[in-house]
Structure 1
């Protein structure tokens, strides 16, 4: 059971459900959006979202998340995503889970990502699978974690392929074979994630617990003891080690994280591949070491909004990205 993010939403759940909105009207909004007519798209989606149409809720949430046609409002986007996610919208579950995860509310975000991972969403499978593999904050299940990341990699998600290669170094041949077999069974529908995981409390925090706030630089969250069997999922920064040849940077305390690697050279290689992307122009790499891995972060963003815009641009190019608060 998930923890409600917005208590006011419980009141909305108690209201009678409105009849489903015509799918054609949602499609008209999508056509307008693709034509660059963001305001018209929002005008079409807004009444449908108010009526409870999950696709309109998701699309309107995207508009608020990206700040297109409306002023950017992450809280409003999260509310809309949650309403759609509660109706089983896989994209909304993924976006909401990733937003919470990026804010440091990892256990809460993973609760949403589990449903999306069960539905086969590649980004959700990557993050949830990595958390299972690491055993934080989930109960460790390295084989199932490997299976989920394998499925994400099979869907051509580039960061999943990179993470899978790191996992290959840490698992025995037999364990990898077991993971591949499980991935195939999950993909075919022969098995379901719910029956594989330990019910009902695979999240190592009580469901009623308050979400953990993102750690502040002055008092960083405790780092788990180093383990050779850990491939870290993205999480908030502790201390950063600048690259030997940093690019010219603009001032700003916000950052984005692109990946975590057991070899520092892999982090440098990823930066070499993405450093010329326009979204990272004028920003500097930082290599954060801890827990036996090196995390690649790009620093110098003036606001959370600018960091999330950069992530949106990178994600459109197939690169996983998480915006981080200072």
Structure 2
């Protein structure tokens, strides 16, 4: 992805935010308890003082309250200020929300380095918005491979709007770029996991996952000639920022939670390895690719293709393989033949 030097400097500055943690005050937990009961005014009252004193959890929760209009009158500018204060102390979810809200307010150049940092940790909303900007090329250099990879990750995280946008992108992004994006998506996913673990280790705050998106990115109609696709609209409403006071109650989780119980080991035989060869908005395209690969590489004909549907996205996978090494070997052969390939658990 090619960014201007000023964006690169901003991204570095965003990633350099301090990770020093401030101890959580007892009033913050009392506020969480009040919020869980639906007593939002009491929650805000509990959080205000520790927030003013610099507690990042309280600051983040004040931002949530002002964004949703619970316990206080909705004011996105005040919410943005609280998110910024918490993010400056390394509160990761506050940083995510800060980037989302900047984008929502149309301050895209300011939002981009924050969205990049959040996307690098695997935040689906940031991946979704960044992918949109990379596809448009309005505020950042166009990069359809990275845009498709990020949109694929957001779709895999369960964001229906991302799946819908991805199916539309299939009509404009060439097959070779989509295949390259499949490989890149695997690399980005692994990098995000490492980044999230490293940064969470430095600032272990337990916060709730991002809210599900309420709006979707619009994409050009399929009737437009693909030779010169216009991309997504320049002004795209951010997801997860309701225009009015939401009806549903979404508690703000900041109190430390007990460590999750370790997952039981899965027998190797129950989870064979597979290879993924692409992700497509149309099932027919996945089947067409498989038909073109048969007989192309030694051993490919012995594999069983599967077409996994996720929303409106179809992932072409093949296998199974008894070991990761065997899957890696087949991927190596396919890559040598010019076919993108990614090893995934079965």
Q: Give the TM-score normalised by structure 1.
A: 0.55
Corresponding residue number in structure 2 for 1:178: 180
Cα distance change of structure 1 residues 78 and 191 upon mapping to structure 2, 3 Å threshold: closer
How big is each residue's C-alpha offset from its partner over 1:112-156, in whole Å with a ceiling of 9 and x where there is no partner? Answer: 211111111111110011111222211222111111111111100
Residue 260 (str. 1) matches residue 195 (str. 2): no
SS at match of 2:152: helix
Matched length: 210
Larger RCO, structures 1/2 (Cα 8 Å, 6+ apart): 2
Question: 1:60 offset after TM fit, Å?
Answer: 0.6
1-side partners of 2:233 and 2:134: how far apart?
19
* SS of corresponding position for 1:259: coil
Per the alignment, residue 119 of structure 2 pairs with: 117
Q: 1:152 to 1:190 in 2, by over 3 A?
A: closer
Alpha carbons of structure 1 residues 191 and 120: separation in structure 2 relative to 1, 3 Å = closer
Q: Is the 8 A contact 1:18 1:51 kept in 2?
A: no
Which residue of structure 2 lines up, in the alignment, with residue 104 of structure 1? 106
Q: What is the Cα deviation at residue 192 of structure 1?
A: 8.2
User: Which moves more between the two structures, 94-103 or 123-132?
Assistant: 94-103
- CA 1:185–1:307: 2 relative to 1, 3 Å: closer
**Residue number among 57, 70, 73 corresponding to 1:71 in the alignment:** 73
Runs of 4 or more consecutive aligned structure 1 residues displaced over 6 Å after TM superposition? 190-193, 294-298
Matched, 1:308 2:243: yes
Gapped regions of structure 1 (runs ≥ 5): 4-12, 194-255, 266-289, 299-305, 317-326
Name the SS for the 2:218 alignment partner: strand
Max Rg structure: 2
Contact map agreement 1:107 1:137 (CA 8 A) in 2: yes
Change (3 A) 1:119 1:19: closer
User: Secondary structure of 2:111's match?
Assistant: helix
SS state at 1:261 partner: coil
Q: TM-score, normalised by structure 2?
A: 0.52
Quick one: structure 1 residues 119 and 261, their matched pair in 2 at CA, closer, same or farther if it must change by over 3 Å? same
